[in-house]
Amino acid sequence: MIATDTTAKIALITGANKGIGLETARQLHAKGVTVILGSRDLARGEAAAKSLGGGDRLRAIKLDVSVEADRAGAVRWIAQEFGRLDILVNNAGVLLDEWAVNATSTTPMSMLRETFEINFFAVVDLTQKLLPLIRKSESGRIVNLSSILGSLSLQATEGSPVYEAKMFAYDSSKAALNSFTIHLAHELRGSRIKVNSAHPGWVKTEMGGEGAPMEIEDGGRTSVELALLGPDGPSGGYFHMGKPIPW
C-alpha cells in the first residue's frame, strides 16, 4: 500500500479515546494528520487528546455513535471548523456476546438490535451524513473497522482460524458492515474516495483481553494504512496488514 502526502489532512476516528481507536489517532497524528477524536464522553476524549500531546492537530468531540443527535452534531461541527473531511475511520463498536460461545438459537433480540445499532446502523448513518464533506477532499478515505469474524467464507469453512468462534450478534453485524463497504465502494467507483474494511487483528485491548497475541501498536496499522492509501490503492476490499481477507 502506498501512502499519500498527509499534509493538512483531516481525520475523524470514532471510539477514539481508548484502545485501537486511540492508537490509530496516535499513528495518524504522528504522520501529520489533524485528528478529531470522537468519544461518548467528551472529558475522556479531551484527556485522550492531551495524552497524545494536545495542540491544534488533536481535537476531541462528543460523539456517541448510537445517538443520532451526536452524529448530526459532529457533521455540523466538522463542516464549520474544517469545511471538509479527508479520512473517516469508523472504529467504534461493541461485542456483547459471550466470547466464543455459539448461542445463536437463544441470542436475545435486544442484543442483536443493540449490536447492529452501533456496529452497523450508526456507521451507515454517520458515513452518509459525512459523505458531502468527504467528497470535498482530494483523496477521501473511509475505513470501516470490521473483524475476521465477519468473514462468511471463513466462518463456513471447517478448520479455518475462526470456524469455532461463533458469536452471532457480533459476527453478523460485521458481515453486514462488510456488505456496506462493498456496496458503497461500488457506488463511489470512479471518484477519488476509497472505501475498505479493516481487520485490526486480535489485539490486547479491553475488548480483546490480555490473552490476545497482538500488541496495540500493530492493531492500529491496518486502519492507518487504509486511511493513507495513495491514488493507486484498492477500494471495496477487506484487509489485514496489507493482505486481503476472503469475504
**DSSP-based three-state secondary structure for 95:** coil
Q: Which three cell numbers stand for residue 144?
A: 470501516
Nearest to 165 by CA among 110, 95, 233: 95
Q: β-strand 194-198 against 87-90: which pairing, if any?
A: unpaired
Q: Which three cell numbers stand for residue 214?
A: 497482538
Among the listed residues 170, 180, 202, 239, the single catalytic one is: 170
170 has catalytic annotation: yes
Q: Which three cell numbers stand for residue 91?
A: 472504529
Number of other residues whose CB lies within 10 A of the CB of residue 153? 11
Question: What residues have CB less than 8 Å from 123, skipping those under 6 apart?
Answer: 65, 90, 144, 177, 180
Distance CA 104, CA 166 (A): 8
Question: Is there a contact between 61 and 42 (Cβ–Cβ < 8 Å)?
Answer: yes
Residues classed as catalytic: 170
